[in-house]
Amino acid sequence: MNWSEFFAMGGYGLYVWGSYGMAALVLAFNVLAARRREKNVRRELAAATHLNQAEPE
């Protein structure tokens, strides 16, 4: 397996790896955004519960 040839992609390296890189970014972004959303919601909920619990009976 000639690695330098592999990375060069017959001169089209920029375009091929640019595309695969962009794909990786899009996939990563989607996962991270979904995770972030869940984290934010949980944080909001915890804060609300806290406030409820903090109220004196």
Partner 1 sequence: MLFHKYASPKVFYALAGRLIPWFAVATLILLGYGLYQGLFVAPPDYQQGESVRIMFIHVPAAWMSMFVYMVMASAGAIGLIWNMRLADMAATASAPIGASFTLLALVTGSLWGKPMWGTWWAWDARLTSELLLFFLYLGFMALQAAIDEPRRAARAGALLALVGVVNIPVIHFSVQWWNTLHQPASISAINKIGTPAIHPSLLVPLLIMAVAFTLFFATVLLMRLRAEILHRERHTGWVAELVKP
Binding site for partner 1 (CB under 8 A): 6, 9-12, 14-16, 18-20, 22-23, 26-27, 29-31, 33-35, 37-38, 41-42, 44-46, 48-49
Closer residue to partner 1 (CB): 10 or 56? 10
> In the complex, what is the shortest distance from the CB of residue 49 to partner 1, in angstroms, rounded to a whole number?
6
Q: Looking at beta carbons only, is 5 or 56 nearer to partner 1?
A: 5
- C-alpha 31/C-alpha 35 separation (Å) is 6
Q: Which residues of 2-37 are buried (b: 16+ CB within 10 A; e: fewer)?
A: eeeeeeeeeeeeeeeeeeeeeeeeeeeeeeeeeeee
